[in-house]
């Protein structure tokens, strides 16, 4: 039976509509664990920072007007009446003609409105000579100058970095509300697949995908639940998928979705809950058998068994879903312009992705050289490639020397 496959753009639209998942929800975690997490609330300051006016230099707190006119050879003369240390509420205040010694970061005492730097003074016992006038507020960081009470200092959806965490600490936070990280169950199917670490029998190969896709989930800031290899058998697969759906927010399988007789995964997924399969194959190359389902609100993404195809379709399809469940902006992919080093044919009617390596060319633009795949089963293709070119459905080929846009893979991860 002929069935028209969804185009890549249709598939992405359907994913956007039907899998338009709300973020999973928020959780409160210690500040020290919040590196690279997505902030789940607006942070409104309950404090003024600094919470008191303070000196930004070592010197003498003064009334600015007492220094007006002071010069090198005509110093203002003030009386030192005490000292303000850092970390203490000043017990002292100053009157006209008075000053107190002060260190950087210490609170400005009552009566003072500026600080003279120690370099611009000379002191004999309690008599202080000031050789340079200061203006009001000079060398003072005022109450609330950095952050005002009520200011929104950080916003929902921000990815927290070192300086953001510093701002939260300054406001006295020790915990912060962030979006939950999706748990993503990852399993491989296929009669030929053996778990790494076990003995490799004739005709078998070691499983790659449960490993590479688990790592790709981590690179996408999800939390993988590695379930390893599941027998390509209806009962086993159903059991494994039920377990996966019970323990995770999303499931990724690979293998068992080509057109051969053992392609059970989509059937089994459909039997597990509504709405079931929403995309059954996509007009792309590689990655055509990719199947996408929803069981309740949980996405199930069935990727092809070929390691390169599986990982490429993960980057194109699964990662944006993980990111939207995390409340995380879809990662900006990095692209570079390059020149095609040779003619590259498309699979007509299918969006074709060609893995390429970037090599220096004669012009300032690099050459995009297709990575020799041997066959689509090759596992080293992605490790050798710098990125991929996407050839539209209506193009027969990209010609030698044509300008192409290469999407860089490592930057996207």
Within 250-380, residue ranges assigned H as helices are: 265-270, 307-313, 319-325
Report which DSSP code applies to 134.
-
| In the complex, minimum distance from the CB of residue 344 to a copy of itself, in angstroms, rounded to a whole number | 19
Q: Provide DSSP, 361-385.
A: -SSSSEEEEE---SSTT-SSHHHH-
Cβ nearer to a copy of itself, comparing 47 with 81: 47
Nearest residue to 274 (alpha-carbon basis) of 237, 313, 245, 316? 245
How far, in Å, CA of 80 to CA of 109, rounded? 13
- Two structure tokens written together for 74: 């005509």
The minimum distance between CB 189 and a copy of itself, in angstroms, equals: 11
What's the min distance (Å) between Cβ of 196 and a copy of itself?
5
The helices-and-strands tally (H runs, E runs) of the chain is 9, 28
94: which 2 tokens? 């100053």
Structure tokens at 6: 């969804």
131 versus 206: smaller Cβ distance to a copy of itself: 206
In the complex with a copy of itself, the residue whose CB is nearer, 220 or 340, is 220
Least distance from a copy of itself to the Cβ atom of residue 50, Å: 6
Q: What's the min distance (Å) between Cβ of 97 and a copy of itself?
A: 25
- Residues near 25 by beta carbon (within 8 Å), at least 6 away in sequence: 179, 180
CB of 222 to a copy of itself, least distance (A): 11
Please state the closest distance from residue 159 (CB atom) to a copy of itself, in A.
9
Q: How many angstroms separate the CA atoms of 11 and 393, rounded?
A: 14
> Residue 234, class by beta-carbon neighbours within 10 Å (0-12 exposed, 13-18 middle, 19+ buried)?
middle
Decide whether 33 or 403 has the Cβ nearer to a copy of itself.
Answer: 33
Residues 6+ apart with CB under 8 A from 29: 37, 175, 176, 178
């Amino acid at each position: 039976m002929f069935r028209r496959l969804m185009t890549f753009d249709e598939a992405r639209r359907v994913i956007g509509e039907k899998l338009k998942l709300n973020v999973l929800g928020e959780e409160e975690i210690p500040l020290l664990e919040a590196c690279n997490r997505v902030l789940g609330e607006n942070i409104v300051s309950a404090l003024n920072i600094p919470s008191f006016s303070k000196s930004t230099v070592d010197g003498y707190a003064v009334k600015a007007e007492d220094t007006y006119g002071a010069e090198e050879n005509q110093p203002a003369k003030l009386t030192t009446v005490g000292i303000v240390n850092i970390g203490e509420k000043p017990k002292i205040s100053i009157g006209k003609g008075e000053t107190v010694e002060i260190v950087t970061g210490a609170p400005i005492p009552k009566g003072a409105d500026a600080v003279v730097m120690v370099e611009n003074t000379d002191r004999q016992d309690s008599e202080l000579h000031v050789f340079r006038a200061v203006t009001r507020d000079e060398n003072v960081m005022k109450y609330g100058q950095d952050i005002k009470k009520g200011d929104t200092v950080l916003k929902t959806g921000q990815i927290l970095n070192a300086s953001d965490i510093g701002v939260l600490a300054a406001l006295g936070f020790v915990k912060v509300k962030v979006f939950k990280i999706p748990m993503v169950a990852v399993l491989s199917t296929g009669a030929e697949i053996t778990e790494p670490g076990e003995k490799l029998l004739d005709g078998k190969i070691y499983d790659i995908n449960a490993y590479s896709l688990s790592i790709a989930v981590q690179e996408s800031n999800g939390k993988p639940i590695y379930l390893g290899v599941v027998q390509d058998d209806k009962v086993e697969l159903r059991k494994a998928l039920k377990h996966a759906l019970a323990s995770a927010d999303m499931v990724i399988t690979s293998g068992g979705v080509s057109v051969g007789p053992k392609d059970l995964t989509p059937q089994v997924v459909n039997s597990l809950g509504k709405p079931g399969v929403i995309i059954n194959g996509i007009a792309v190359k590689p990655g055509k058998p990719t199947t996408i389902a929803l069981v309740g609100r949980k996405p199930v993404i069935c990727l092809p068994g070929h390691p390169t195809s599986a990982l490429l379709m993960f980057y194109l399809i699964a990662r944006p879903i993980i990111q939207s469940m995390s409340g995380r902006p879809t990662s900006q992919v990095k692209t570079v312009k390059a020149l095609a080093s040779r003619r590259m044919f498309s699979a007509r009617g299918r969006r074709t992705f060609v893995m390429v390596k970037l090599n220096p060319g004669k012009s300032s633009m690099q050459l995009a050289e297709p990575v020799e795949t041997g066959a689509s089963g090759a596992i080293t293709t992605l490790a050798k490639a710098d990125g991929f070119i996407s050839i539209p459905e209506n193009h027969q080929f990209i010609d030698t020397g044509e300008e192409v846009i290469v999407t860089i893979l490592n930057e996207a991860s």
